[in-house]
Amino acid sequence: MGTDTPIDHRPIIFFDGVCNLCNGAVRFVIRRDPDSYFRFATLQSAYARKFLSEMGYHEFSEMDSIILIKEGNIFVKSDAALGIARHLSGIWPALYGLRIFPRYLRNFVYDLVANNRYKWFGKKDACMIPTPEIRSRFIED
């Protein structure tokens, strides 16, 4: 028998690693994900570029969306945010009910925040460095 590393099928959240809002959202998810359901990678990473390219997704160059990969499917913008909320502890899964609104309306609100996130929340000079306690949940280059 070989010593192959088992494949990790947990969903991956790709996020803008220099965005203060995005980093805060990742910390928010981690605190409400006690079973470590999600893994994380920055959109700036070589891993993100390679992984998303291999999945046929080449539209992430502007890094204006959170991306959720779950069961081989790609979810972006409000679909990703609501898909993430669905698996958090507490009342947050109730937000998934917002899917009753048409995607174009949900994404309009999402884009409004995404397009102003640096102006409203600021930007870091470098990607987030996870603490030792949560480092295993982050996929690095």
Report the distance separating Cα 82 and Cα 61, nearest Å.
22
The set of long-range contacts for 61-68, using a CB threshold of 8 Å and a minimum separation of 24, is: 63/16, 64/16, 64/111, 64/114, 64/115, 65/110, 65/114, 66/13, 66/14, 66/15, 66/16, 66/22, 66/25, 67/13, 67/14, 67/15, 67/43, 68/11, 68/12, 68/13, 68/14
Tell me the CA distances in angstroms from 130 to 17, 93, 116, one per residue in order. Answer: 11, 25, 25
* Residue ranges of domains in the chain: 12-134
pLDDT grade, residue 2 (50/70/90)?
A: very low
Of the candidates 51, 56, 84, 62, which has an alpha carbon nearest to the alpha carbon of residue 16?
62
**pLDDT per residue as tens digits for the range 96-139:** 999 999 999 999 999 999 989 989 988 877 666 677 677 778 88
What pLDDT, on a 0 to 100 scale, did the predictor assign at position 112? 94
**pLDDT per residue as tens digits for the range 53-108:** 888 776 655 567 899 999 989 999 999 999 999 999 999 999 999 999 999 999 99
